Structure 1
Amino acid sequence: MDVHLKEKEMLDLLKELVNIDSGSYNKEGVDKVGRVLLPYFMELGFDIQRVKQSEVGDHLIICHSERKKPSILIVAHMDTVFEEGTVEARPFSVKDGRAYGPGVIDMKASLVSVIYALRYVKEIGSHAYKDVQIILNSDEEIGSVTSRSIIEKEAIGKSYALIMEPARRDGSVVTERRGSGRFTIEVHGKAAHSGIEPEKGRSAIEELAHKIVKLHELNDHEHGISVNVGIIEGGDAVNTVSAMAIGHIDVRVATLKQAEEMEHKIEEVCSSSDVNGTEIELTGDMRRPPMLKNKKTEELFHIIRNVGAELGIDLKDTKTGGGSDASFTSAMGIPTIDGLGPIGGHAHSEKEYLVISSLTERTLLLAKVIERLMTEKKD
């Protein structure tokens, strides 16, 4: 099988996937993506376990019917960040060597890549494809809230974890990520007319403003800590002292110790009011631990880089502040490499694109890595 000769076929499947609205809360759409993919895995002899969900799409655990104890875990997600109706506004398209459309690089191209990599391994006569377990989850874009426990359970005993987020724009794979958390502050005050009796009011917006200043003072960019109150809500009218205000907080950290410290510091900031008569409710947590570059990660990257060199790819690694499911397997001590999908850019925006030539290139890389890791296990 020559993967490069399969480009049109792969693009046809990619077009079908991209032209399905599958935002994280669009259960029907995400489940449709799963239904499109299942026959491809079944054709290869894989069994599919569907983990049903009520609010998001069902998660899929995929293992070969002849499996014993697969040593490679591949994780990819079926959901996107885009609202229903996005496909109608800007469906899949191709121009000047790039493919466009909602979720084309994050990460529907990777779903296609996984299928054709496994096909390649099978067709060259290797049994390495049977040594792979795949998890396709449906809520990665909202923090893998319901799929984290599944990933962690299935990762137990695995020798390697390959995470199919897209490669960076320069083709680098990811060996290090910052941990991330999401918190929400809900402030309750007391409404009053700001012209007639403002002294009777207790401004929730004023209280939230105090908290925003204190939270942003926790930033320490030099050491990898960032705190950002990115969305605020509150107030009913300009001439009314606000009875309610809400702030949504994004937190990024570089180490596990920082994650613990930030949870404590945010709780401390919100433990008391600056505006008398207001009350604060804090919810949320650190959703993803940091993915740390350690010796095991470096050894796995060395293997993948050597495979790349054999294919004429000068593979580099990098770190990023964004979160992914790689954090879960890495925190368990499993050698993990992320960014093994095709190359593209502008994810989560209307400019999102895939470099078409990378679709077959990175599929072949993934196939050869799977084959090589089985050899490494035997050695």
Structure 2
Amino acid sequence: MLGLIETLVNIDSGSYIKEGIDKVGNVLSGEYAKIGFETEVHEQQKLGNNLLIRHPEAVNPEILLIAHMDTVFGEGTVAGRPFSREGDYAYGPGVIDMKASHATTLYALKALMESGSEAFKNVELVLNTDEEIGSIASRELIEQVAKTKKYALILEPAQNGHLVSERKGGGKYFLKVHGKSAHAGIEPENGINVNVGLISGGTSVNTIAPFAEAAIDVRIETWEDGDTVDSAIKEICSYSEIPGTRLELTGNITRPVWNLTAEAEALIAIITEEGQKNGLELLHEKSGGGSDANLTSFAGIPSIDGLGPVGADAHQESEYLYIPSLAERTLLLANVIERLSSK
């Protein structure tokens, strides 16, 4: 498992690095082929190709497993800090969010097959490539596959060892400001644009930017919040108060709010019971971050997240995987799939 994780971590696969993500996808589809699973490739021109994986003997599988292949890290990150291990901890870009989850998922299915269980035929996997940027391009595939499922298990890492049962919704907006270029020292009065906040743009450090762009992240607790924020942002950006500038706003609320349902609580009860059989005391909590569970829950499928291994500091240089959690989380996932398949 660690060998596979090391291979995956040592591939730069930020959301916009198509070549790297597709390389990760090729490694994983190859591993699944070794155990008889088939991969259907959903090609994309700019982003990495999404993968739909199932066993050829699967007939109307009821369980959807989702794990994303992209990370938040840019090209060249691996060269600076590749996979490393120190005692019970492993480090590297994306090691816990969520390349280690690919190993536990694969090996859970291997465990089922080696035990003689037929439950591996009751799963279908979506390995998507843009979760870190909102799953905008993979959402249609996820929702299409989810329609025929009874359960959705999302393999995001466990937060403090906990399951995730609810998440905030969210969205992303991109504001482009078209202005007028000018020398910042000699004729600043002839330049028109914004120059505060987290933005990108400009042509040189001593030139007023003829163009700038701001990325705006939004988190919401309810759909009503989403409507309010969406309307407010669009109203604010519907006109410019600075003569000579033009505003261009794109984006919207991309992730629906995920609230705990009675059906999901029943699923949590099953998962916690299976954990207790192997000495795991599993709690569940709400997360402020979004995931693909927002999409499957919105589609009406009982969904639980945080079924990956344990680690912390995702999206940071200090990101780590707690290695002893690999085996226990693999066993938990295998047993949950077996339990849900016998219902």
- TM-score, normalised to structure 2, is 0.93
Contact 1:202 1:277 in 2 (8 A): no
Q: Does 1:179 align with 2:138?
A: no
Report matched runs for 1:216-255 at 5 Å: 231-233=198-200, 243-255=210-222
Given residue 162 of structure 2, which amino acid in structure 1 is its aligned partner? Answer: S
Q: Does 1:205 align with 2:194?
A: yes
Q: Which moved more, 1:238-247 or 1:83-92?
A: 238-247
Report matched runs for 1:293-312 at 5 Å: 293-312=260-279
Contact 1:167 1:342 in 2 (8 A): yes
Contact 1:104 1:352 in 2 (8 A): yes
Please state how far the C-alpha of 1:88 moved relative to its aligned partner.
2.2
| Match of residue 321 from structure 2 | 354
Q: Could you list the per-position Cα deviations for residues 180-233 of structure 1 after superposition, in whole angstroms to 9, with x for gaps in the alignment? A: 11111122234556788766x473217xx6xxxxxxxxxxxxxxxxxxx6x223
| Match of residue 226 from structure 1 | none
In 1, the alpha carbon distance for the partners of 2:136 and 2:8 equals 23
Given residue 137 of structure 1, which amino acid in structure 2 is its aligned partner? Answer: N
In 2, the alpha carbon distance for the partners of 1:359 and 1:165 equals 13
Please state how far the C-alpha of 1:240 moved relative to its aligned partner.
6.2
Please state how far the C-alpha of 1:245 moved relative to its aligned partner.
3.2
Indicate which of 263, 270, 274 corresponds to 2:241: 274
Please state how far the C-alpha of 1:238 moved relative to its aligned partner.
7.7
Contact 1:205 1:235 in 2 (8 A): no
Contact 2:183 2:191 in 1 (8 A): no
Indicate which of 170, 173, 178 corresponds to 1:188: 178
Q: Does 1:23 align with 2:18?
A: no
Report matched runs for 1:108-187 at 5 Å: 108-168=99-159, 170-187=160-177
Q: Does 1:321 align with 2:288?
A: yes
Please state how far the C-alpha of 1:26 moved relative to its aligned partner.
2.0
Report matched runs for 1:6-155 at 5 Å: 10-155=1-146
Q: Could you list the per-position Cα deviations for residues 28-66 of structure 1 after superposition, in whole angstroms to 9, with x for gaps in the alignment? A: 222221222223322333221011122122111011111
In 1, the alpha carbon distance for the partners of 2:332 and 2:115 equals 14
Summarize the Cα distance change of 1:66–1:85 in structure 2 as closer, same or farther, 3 Å threshold. same
Contact 1:202 1:275 in 2 (8 A): no
Please state how far the C-alpha of 1:243 moved relative to its aligned partner.
4.0
* Structure 1: tracts of 5 or more residues without a match: 1-9, 210-228
Contact 1:205 1:234 in 2 (8 A): no
- TM-score, normalised to structure 1, is 0.85
Summarize the Cα distance change of 1:173–1:241 in structure 2 as closer, same or farther, 3 Å threshold. same
Tell which structure's C-alpha radius of gyration is larger: 1
> RMSD of the alignment, in Å?
2.1
Indicate which of 245, 252, 256 corresponds to 1:285: 252
Q: Does 1:363 align with 2:337?
A: no
Contact 1:180 1:290 in 2 (8 A): yes
Classify the secondary structure of the residue corresponding to 1:363.
Answer: helix
Q: Report the count of equivalent residues.
A: 343
In 2, the alpha carbon distance for the partners of 1:109 and 1:240 equals 45
Classify the secondary structure of the residue corresponding to 2:308.
Answer: coil
Question: Identity of aligned pairs, percent?
Answer: 52
